[in-house]
């Protein structure tokens, strides 16, 4: 599965990369270099981050499913016990 960023997000990330280089590396980089770095990061780092996010989401959902028997339990045949 290829990770595809929407154009607005990509544009903002390119600007962020350029700002990072300017601030932390004392070097200005153009749009092309920033885009190439972003493409590399998305292709190389993106899948690991994506897979971890999916694993975290699965774990959270499994925790919620495990709580169903406690949070959604209703005692049966309790009419006479209340009186």
**pLDDT(69) > 90:** no
Residue 49 resides in a domain: yes
Residue 21 resides in a domain: yes
How large is the C-alpha radius of gyration of the chain? 24
**pLDDT(5) > 80:** yes
Calculate helix-pair angle for 46-66, 31-44, nearest 10 degrees. 50
pTM of the model: 0.74
Residue 1 resides in a domain: no
Residue 16 resides in a domain: yes
In 1-83, DSSP assigns E strands to none
Residue 35 resides in a domain: yes
Residue 19 resides in a domain: yes
For residue 25, the enclosing domain spans 7-73
Residue 80 resides in a domain: no
**pLDDT(11) > 90:** yes
| Count of structural domains within the chain | 1
Residue 82 resides in a domain: no
């Amino acid at each position: 599965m290829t990770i595809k960023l929407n154009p607005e997000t990509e544009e903002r990330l390119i600007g962020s990369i350029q700002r990072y280089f300017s601030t932390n590396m004392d070097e200005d980089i153009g749009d092309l270099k920033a885009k190439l770095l972003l493409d590399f990061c998305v292709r190389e780092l993106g899948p690991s981050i994506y897979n971890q996010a999916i694993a975290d989401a699965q774990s959270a959902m499994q925790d919620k499913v495990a709580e169903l028997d406690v949070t959604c339990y209703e005692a049966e045949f309790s009419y006479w016990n209340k009186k």
